[in-house]
Structure 1
Amino acid sequence: MSERLVIIGFGPVAASLIEGMLPAVLSGDCELTVLGGEQHAAYNRVLLAEVAIGAAKPEHLSMADESRLRAAGVDLRLGVAATGVDRARRVVHTGDGHLPYDRLVFATGARPVIPSLAGLNFDPHADTALPAGVLALRTLDDALQMQSLLRGGGRVLVLGGGILGLEAALAMASAGYEPVLVHHGPTPLGRVVDLDGGTLLMRQLEAAGVSVLSEVRATGIVKHQGRFSALATETHGPIPADALLLSTGVRARTELAEGCGLNAGSGIMVNEQLMADSSARIFAIGDCAQVAGQRPAGLLAPGWAQAGWLAQFLLTHPAPHPAGPAPDLSSIPGPEAHGGDILMLKGQGLELTAAGTVQVGLFQDPDQQVTVYADPTSGQYLKIVSRDRVPTGFLALGLPRTGAELALNFERGTALPADPALLLRLDAPFEDSQASAAGAEDQLCRCSGATYGQVSDAIEAGCDTVAAVGESCRAGTGCGGCRDRIEEMLKLLPASSR
């Protein structure tokens, strides 16, 4: 008999799992039902800001071919949300009825954190209805709503100094709008930059067209005729604007799992094999999963790695018999983590790469070595923190090649040059040959986890565009930060091999 598999959620990670399960669906070994709360099939949330500013069309974000999946036999139920799970009867309840399952996968993702400001309905466990003019850029509908607001030529406040807020603000600035970034710390990206690097970052944001207001204590929103009109603050008084974009983090959607008795912390708690229960019937992947005690990474690469591993596991390990004992699967290695440590920001002439922590003073810890280089006039700043010459954290601003080299050092755990200042030559003119050659196993695309070797294989197999490479190995299909590198690799091909 075919196994009944139900996936709750239809984002990019769920789409990857579905692709991996297609052989079993086509052979009749698996009855696959997917519940998607949105009316849209899986799409790339990383590029929502591009839709909001009109630089990309909604269909360009698609990451799943709905008609092809249906034709293969996948039961896609878009706009249908799960309302509960009965683990004893192995049933998922929906507004339309109920679905029996043999195995169940939570791929519910995360929802935006709505700050507890006066005038906003704060609920950490539900999708909050926001007032007109207030939005959180998490769904395609949010992006389309923001696009309408921007076309009206209004002033937009971006609340939050994290990577998502900065990316949204830079995207708006690139399209000629005038966003204002409002955050509570002394500098944006306060968790990954030190004070000097953060100061230079603010200067570069301003040069890119993003106004920055720091150390703001927001208390609520002001509405006029039912619409947002200003952000109320203790420190700066009311800050007027036509719209407010909330970018204050995300929280895993765990309430459905908790409602059926599963444990949850920062995400649904699963072991290294992604199992949320002791019977090996329920799993969680992606932004909703807290794997072996680690917080959800919030990136595509780890989620895709989990989806690929889980598909292979489900294909090779049948569901346990209802009357039998749970199998002992503790000896099976779980999925490897990918790309969760490197932060990259690029746009409007601003290039930042960081990893680990650089919140260390020059003489704070004698066991750590700290190297700092600063040239504010040129917009360049470098700080490296290392132990036994192996980097434990770094920040490279305005030094893209140096940042790329340090990212390789950080990921590999390899030692820095005896004189770390030599790394600065990588961003000097005509010094490209100084960089260490990336190996086949080194990661090129931090969203998909695709390696240099996989991209080379795709090119050798006949892929002659970035889009074709993406279809082959997913490189370049996430944030787009690796597209320039793929273009360089394509140019290196002899014309006769294209």
Structure 2
Amino acid sequence: MGAGLAGWAAVEALRALDRDLPITLVTACSGDRYHKPELSVALSRGQSADDLVRESGSEAARRLGVQLLPRTFVTGLSPQSRRLRTTRGTLSYTGLVLAMGARPALPEALPEAHCWRVNDLAGWSGLQRALADGPARVAVVGGGMVGCELAEDLARAGHRVSLLDRHAYPLAGLLPEAAGRRLLAAQRALGIAVHPNVAVAGVERNAAGERVVQLADGERLVVDQVVAATGLATEPRLARQAGLDFAGGICVDGRTLATSVPGIFALGDCIAIEGQPCRFIEPLARQAEALAHALLERDHPGYRHAAPVVRLKTRQLPITLSGRPDPDADWVTVSDDAERLEMEQRQGERVLATLSVGAGRRAA
């Protein structure tokens, strides 16, 4: 269930183990294959939706010998009888893989009717069409990774960008202040109007068709488009209806990716491992390989979760974070000059995390 990067990774891994296994892929979209991280850098490159598609869903299905059910929605799941109910009928399964991703977590102040969500190709295509007539005023709400990448991409594409964030500097939940301040300065140098320490109280559309962003402090910002980049959340409805353990995501075994219900596995943005959501692209191939072996009862050492390397796709100021930062541990500056900032966290002799901000080579 699901034909994003995770769903197709699972199909590839299963097919590699068994050439004849009957596989049905159910997806609410077309199933076209594209690399999702490219959505946050595609506008400045002048790319279209067709440019981003690497392989159509129908082509991938033929190549891998898969029955693809596009534009099909799942309406229910009965684990006891191993049946999946969809808008195109009920499917029986031996094993079920949930790769349903996560949806944008929109606060009440950001109504869907007035805000774009760039979480898939369809959402990105809609925003691209809305901006096709030339430079526009765009407000990006949220200073996390996606918000920062989209703000830079929009600015480089010629739009007037306002970045609204609840924190004093972007990526405040991930970066120490020294790094966050550098990123803030780089964004402003690119022409992005950064509004730190602000909360959005609402968004409305005026008679001229503009969006009016109402801030909690009373200020009003008039723009042409609003992009919400306020994080992701796993939809719990199907998991709870099927009796799957759920804690911020579908709970899976950290080695096999099995859920709490026999015969059902999950991977990608929709899962939680040891109570923590796992929303990164890098582990997907390893998750899919371990899951496929477990589902087909083949020997495998299992998936081993590790903090992936985080790379912010901002040309203005590249940022790379490795390791698992401790929010209560201090960051120590290793080197600091106009071109690059290097920092790390240590616990005794053990390095918890390293951070590189800026261009140039990492210090030896």
TM over 0.5: yes
In the alignment, does 2:273 pair up with 1:305?
no
Q: Deviations over 1:125-146 (max 9, x none)?
A: xxxxx214x2010121211111
The answer to whether residue 147 in structure 2 is matched with residue 165 in structure 1 is yes
CA, structure 1 residues 257+81, in 2 after alignment: closer, same or farther (shift >3 Å)?
same
State the number of aligned residues: 360
Q: Which amino acid aligns with 1:48?
A: L
Please state whether the residue corresponding to 2:290 is helix, strand or coil. helix
CA RMSD of aligned residues (A): 2.5
Q: 1:106 aligns with which of 91, 98, 120?
A: 98
Secondary structure (helix, strand or coil) at the match of 1:193 reads coil
2:257 counterpart residue number: 274
Q: Is the 8 A contact 2:332 2:343 kept in 1?
A: yes
TM-score by length of 1: 0.67
Question: Per-residue CA shift, 1:261-315, capped at 9, x if unaligned?
Answer: 1111111111131111353x11111111113x14232111212211122223334
Pick from 205, 208, 213 the counterpart of residue 223 of structure 1: 205
The TM-score, its normalising length taken from structure 2, stands at 0.90
Q: Indicate how the Cα distance of structure 1 residues 357 and 212 shifts in structure 2: closer, same or farther if over 3 A, else same.
A: same
Q: Which amino acid aligns with 1:34?
A: L
**C-alpha distance in 2 between matches for 1:106 and 1:204:** 40
For the pair 1:393 / 2:353, whether they are aligned, the reply is yes
SS in 2 for 1:146: helix
Given that 1:358 and 1:384 are in contact with CA atoms closer than 8 Å, whether structure 2 keeps it comes out as no
Match of 1:336 among 294, 299, 304: 304
Of 37, 44, 57, the match for 1:46: 37
Match of residue 15 from structure 2: 22
Query: CA separation of 1:42/1:217 partners in 2, compared to 1, >3 Å: closer, same or farther?
Result: same
Q: One-letter code of the match for 2:99?
A: A
Asked whether the equivalents of residues 182 and 213 of structure 1 are also in contact (C-alpha less than 8 Å), the reply is yes
SS in 1 for 2:284: helix
Q: Counterpart amino acid of 1:342? A: V
- Looking at secondary structure, tell me which structure has more strand per residue: 2
Change (3 A) 1:12 1:68: closer
Question: Which structure has the higher relative contact order (CA within 8 Å, separation 6+)?
Answer: 2
Describe how 1:430-469 pairs up with structure 2 within 5 A.
Answer: 435=364
- Give the superposition deviation at 1:379: 4.7
Question: What amino acid is aligned across from residue 265 of structure 1 in structure 2?
Answer: A
Deviation string 1:209-257 (CA, Å, 9 cap, x unpaired) is 3221100021111211495512111225111111110001011233212
Q: Secondary structure at the match of 1:46?
A: helix
Distance 2:63 2:186 in 1: 50
Shift of 1:14: 1.1
Q: Which runs of 5+ in 1 are unaligned?
A: 1-7, 121-129, 318-328, 403-422, 424-434, 436-498
Does residue 350 in structure 1 map to residue 343 in structure 2? Answer: no
Question: What whole-Å deviation, never above 9, does each CA across 1:120-169 have from its counterpart, x for those lacking one?
Answer: 2xxxxxxxxx214x201012121111112222321000000101100111
- Gaps of at least 5 residues in structure 2 are none
1:353 Cα shift? Answer: 2.0
Q: Tell me the CA shift for residue 387 of structure 1.
A: 2.5
- Give the structure 1 partner of residue 333 of structure 2: 371
Normalized per residue, the structure richer in helix is 1
Q: Which structure is larger by alpha-carbon Rg, 1 or 2?
A: 1
Aligned counterparts of 1:220 and 1:389: Cα–Cα separation in 2:
48
Corresponding residue of 1:486: none
Q: Secondary structure at the match of 1:385?
A: strand
* 1:85/1:92 contact within 8 Å kept: yes
Q: State the distance in 1 between where 2:19 and 2:88 align.
A: 26
Asked if residue 136 in structure 1 is aligned to residue 117 in structure 2, the reply is yes
**Which amino acid letter does the alignment assign opposite residue 387 of structure 1?**
Q
Aligned to 1:94: 86
The amino acid across from 1:393 in the alignment is A
Choose the corresponding residue for 1:289, options 264, 271, 295: 271
Tell me, yes or no, if structure 1 residue 314 matches structure 2 residue 295.
yes
Tell me: CA distance 1:178–1:93, structure 2 relative to 1, closer, same or farther (3 Å).
same
Identity %: 25
Aligned to 2:26: 35
Secondary structure in 2 aligned to 1:401?
Answer: coil
Greater shift in the superposed pair: 167-176 or 340-349: 340-349
SS in 1 for 2:277: coil
Q: Is the 8 A contact 1:13 1:285 kept in 2?
A: yes
Quote the Cα distance in structure 2 between the aligned partners of 1:287 and 1:250: 9
Map 1:179-258 to 2 at 5 A: 179-225=161-207, 227=209, 229-235=211-217, 237-258=219-240
- SS at 2:34's partner residue? coil
Q: What residue in structure 2 maps to residue 263 of structure 1?
A: 245
Matches of 1:346 and 1:48, distance apart in 2: 11
